[in-house]
Every structure is written in structure tokens, then in C-alpha cells.
Amino acid sequence: MAGLAKSSGLVAATAATAVMAQPTILSGVTAISDGTNDATVIVYDNASAASGTVLAKVYADSTVGSNTVIFATPVKAEAGITISVTGTNSGGIVYYGA
């Protein structure tokens, strides 16, 4: 179906994770804390590395648990999408392609 976003699935806090290696659009981002440690998800306009233009940065502190940002107007990723998730036992989800 046209107009539906794809999900990266839950991405754990590790090295940079390439989500899409070609031009696409970013529809939203979720940062998920483990309830003890803060979480940060940074989305880069890059096909394979956590560098270049930052498209979004979403933060969830340990008292909130999670924080989701959905863009009313999606953001174009010219090269692709790579994300970096930081925070012990934290995770992130990226919604793209719609």
C-alpha cells in the first residue's frame, strides 16, 4: 500500500546501524529507555555511517521511558538513513519511506 511507513524494528544501542542505503524519507523516530538509563537516537543522512547531516535527534530520559517524534511533513534523506542509539540497554525505532 502506498503511503505506509516502514519500520527499522527495534535497534539496540550498538555501533551505527544502516537502516536504508538509498534515498528515502524519514517519517518518525522513537527513543526507548530501559527505565534506568537515558536513551538518545540520532538519525543521519548517510547510507552507511553515523556522520554527515543530522536529520533528527530524539531523547528519552529514564523517568519517561520513551519519546516518539512523528513528522507532519517527512524529512528527505538524500543518501539514506543510518542511526546511532546510545544509552545502556536502550533502543530506537525509525519510521521511513512514507
Report if residue 38 sits inside a domain. yes
Please tell me the predicted confidence (pLDDT) of residue 2: 57
**How many structural domains compose the chain?**
1
Instruction: Give the pLDDT confidence score for residue 54 in this predicted structure.
Output: 98
Check residue 15 and give its pLDDT.
77
Whole-angstrom distance, CA of residue 57 vs CA of residue 12: 16
pLDDT, residue 1, reads: 46
Taking 70 as the pLDDT cut, the residues of the chain under it are: 1-2
Is 1 among the domain residues?
no
- pLDDT at residue 49, rounded to an integer: 95
Domain that holds residue 68: 19-96
